[in-house]
């Protein structure tokens, strides 16, 4: 199947997603010079410091919807999420599908781009103990000020379950920040909207930071002004349907505007820490979320469930035995100037496909491989150990 190089896709996505409305334009009107760059922490430091001097009304710091409008919807969505488990079941088995009311273990929730919003504390209060909420922001003034306010304003019991930390998702991967696979839910109220002003590559890295922070089976909730024809397409492209369930709900604000709550629940597969899937609607590919040196493994996928018939995403292990790749490597674009090569790693129990960097790959660069060379390598026959019969490595469904 012929596929275009990812660069053209990124350009068209950046253009299409760069047109955002109302709420953020009102902020832009207040900003001057460098402060108009909403993806930069220094802008938000200056913005919130100015706001803090101008008013103490907490409603002035809530984007899109007030807490009494957004809070109940977010809490209801979290209650519908699978309950946390003390010992998450390893991939490929799903986590236990229980309601929060059935299991009193408490959620670990990450609130990204928190600003001066009270949403994190509202979630902790609404779900009750032992739910814990970590609020993160890239702006140092915001984090320090919110921690000070919490110390003086929150009840002691609630203060024990809420904290504020500095984390710039655009520059620091979740693992380096100590947040990888640590949360049952990630909540975003306007965060991705702001990061899109830094370009689609920057936004993809920030989105992947949210995803990487989730435990298997976790849920990402986003409140945005973008209607489903914009945001839902973006999320479904970035989070392939084989591994994610994506939904949307309209929220009517008292201001007269309609906002949307998007829910993204991880249902299968493994999460890569180095790259994210992006799309322009009809073609998909991977971009790097961190800098990757030559020789490093960019991502890998295990062959998992046995399928009775071959399909485009299976590897034939023996006669009539077709193993499906567990991840989403088939979204990767081919190129005749590839940045990666494909390797098989095989042991007694598993067959793993790896993408390995051929050269230095910078953040937001396309992850590509040579389609023809890879196809030839994957189709190379080998001898099935059990039967002694030769079989092909890659099973493509014949075109009809």
Can you give the pLDDT at residue 266? 74
353 is written with which tokens?
């496909």
Do 43 and 102 belong together in one domain? Answer: yes
Residue 360: inside a domain: yes
Q: Which domain holds residue 177?
A: 6-274
The closest of 251, 219, 225 to 77, measured between CA atoms, is 219
Residue 280: inside a domain: no
**Which of residues 215, 245, 274 is at a domain's end?**
274
Can you give the pLDDT at residue 261? 93
Do 152 and 212 belong together in one domain? Answer: yes
Can you give the pLDDT at residue 82? 54
Do 305 and 233 belong together in one domain? Answer: no
> Which residue positions in the chain have pLDDT lower than 50?
1-36, 83-105, 242, 269-271, 273, 279-283, 327-331, 394-400
Do 111 and 156 belong together in one domain? Answer: yes
**Which of residues 274, 309, 333 is at a domain's end?**
274
Residue 245: inside a domain: yes
156 is written with which tokens?
């002691």
What does the DSSP assignment read for 307-330? ESS--TTEEEEETTEEEEESS-GG
Do 91 and 188 belong together in one domain? Answer: yes
How far is it, in rounded angstroms, from Cα 392 to Cα 318? 8
Do 183 and 235 belong together in one domain? Answer: yes
The CATH number of the domain holding residue 309 is 2.170.270.10
The residues, ordered by sequence, that sit 6+ positions from 286 with a Cβ below 8 Å of its Cβ are: 6, 275, 276, 277, 278, 298, 299, 331, 332, 333, 366, 367
Do 120 and 160 belong together in one domain? Answer: yes
- pLDDT, one tens digit per residue, over 238-283 is 665 546 778 889 998 777 889 999 998 876 544 454 666 554 444 4
The CATH number of the domain holding residue 212 is 3.40.50.150
The closest of 8, 9, 1, 3 to 278, measured between CA atoms, is 9
Can you give the pLDDT at residue 194? 84
Do 258 and 324 belong together in one domain? Answer: no
Do 156 and 266 belong together in one domain? Answer: yes
Residue 286: inside a domain: no
What's CA 201's distance to the chain center, in Å?
A: 13
Do 275 and 287 form a contact (C-beta atoms < 8 A)?
Answer: yes
Do 40 and 187 belong together in one domain? Answer: yes
Residue 310: inside a domain: yes
How far is it, in rounded angstroms, from Cα 382 to Cα 23? 59
Can you give the pLDDT at residue 121? 94
Do 256 and 358 belong together in one domain? Answer: no
- pLDDT, one tens digit per residue, over 148-185 is 999 999 999 999 999 999 999 988 888 889 998 889 89
Backbone angles phi, psi at 255, to 5 degrees: -75, -10
Residue 72: inside a domain: yes
Q: Which residues pair with 260 in a beta bridge?
A: 224, 250
Do 297 and 343 form a contact (C-beta atoms < 8 A)?
Answer: no
Instruction: Count the domains in the chain.
Output: 2
Do 79 and 219 belong together in one domain? Answer: yes
Residue 279: inside a domain: no
Residue 400: inside a domain: no
**Which of residues 274, 300, 322 is at a domain's end?**
274
CB-side neighbour CA atoms (13 Å) of 398: 1
The closest of 196, 216, 215 to 205, measured between CA atoms, is 196
- pLDDT, one tens digit per residue, over 59-76 is 556 778 888 888 889 998
370 is written with which tokens?
């040579």
How far is it, in rounded angstroms, from Cα 108 to Cα 86? 11
Can you give the pLDDT at residue 354? 77
> Dihedral angle at the C-alpha atoms of 284, 78, 248, 271, nearest 10 degrees?
0
Can you give the pLDDT at residue 281? 47
Sign of CA dihedral 19, 24, 28, 31: negative
């Amino acid at each position: 199947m012929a596929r275009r190089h990812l660069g053209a896709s990124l350009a068209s996505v950046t253009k299409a997603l760069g047109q955002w409305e109302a709420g953020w334009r009102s902020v832009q009107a207040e900003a001057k010079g460098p402060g108009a760059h909403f993806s930069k922490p220094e802008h938000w430091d200056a913005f919130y410091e100015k706001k803090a001097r101008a008013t103490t009304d907490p409603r002035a710091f809530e984007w899109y919807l007030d807490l009494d409008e957004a809070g109940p919807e977010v809490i209801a969505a979290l209650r519908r999420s699978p309950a946390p488990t003390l010992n998450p079941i390893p991939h490929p088995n799903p986590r236990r599908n229980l309601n929060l009311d059935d299991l009193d273990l408490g959620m670990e929730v990450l609130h990204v781009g928190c600003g001066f919003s009270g949403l994190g504390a509202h979630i902790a209060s609404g779900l009750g103990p032992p739910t814990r909420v970590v609020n993160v922001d890239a702006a140092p003034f915001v984090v320090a000020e919110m921690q000070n306010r919490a110390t003086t304003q929150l009840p002691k019991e609630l203060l024990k379950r809420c904290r504020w930390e500095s984390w710039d998702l655009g520059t620091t991967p979740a693992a380096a920040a100590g947040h990888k696979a640590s949360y049952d839910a990630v909540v975003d109220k306007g965060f991705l909207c702001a990061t899109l002003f830094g370009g689609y590559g920057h936004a993809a890295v920030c989105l992947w930071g949210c995803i990487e922070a989730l435990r298997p089976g976790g849920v990402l909730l986003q409140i945005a002004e973008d209607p489903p024809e914009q945001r839902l397409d973006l999320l479904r492209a970035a989070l392939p349907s084989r591994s994610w369930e994506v939904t949307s709900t309209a929220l009517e604000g008292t201001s007269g505007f309609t906002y949307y709550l998007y829910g993204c629940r991880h249902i299968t597969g493994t999460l890569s820490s180095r790259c994210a899937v992006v799309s322009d609607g009809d073609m998909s590919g991977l971009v790097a979320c961190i800098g990757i040196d030559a020789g490093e493994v960019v991502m890998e996928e295990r062959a998992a469930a046995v399928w009775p018939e071959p399909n485009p995403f299976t590897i034939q292990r023996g006669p009539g035995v077709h193993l499906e790749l567990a991840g989403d490597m088939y979204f990767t674009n081919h190129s005749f100037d590839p940045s990666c090569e494909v390797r098989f790693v095989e042991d007694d129990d598993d067959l793993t496909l790896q993408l390995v960097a051929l050269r230095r790959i910078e953040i937001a660069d396309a992850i590509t491989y040579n389609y023809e060379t890879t196809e030839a390598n994957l189709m190379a026959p080998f001898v099935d150990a059990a039967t002694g019969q030769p079989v092909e490595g890659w099973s493509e469904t014949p075109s009809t």
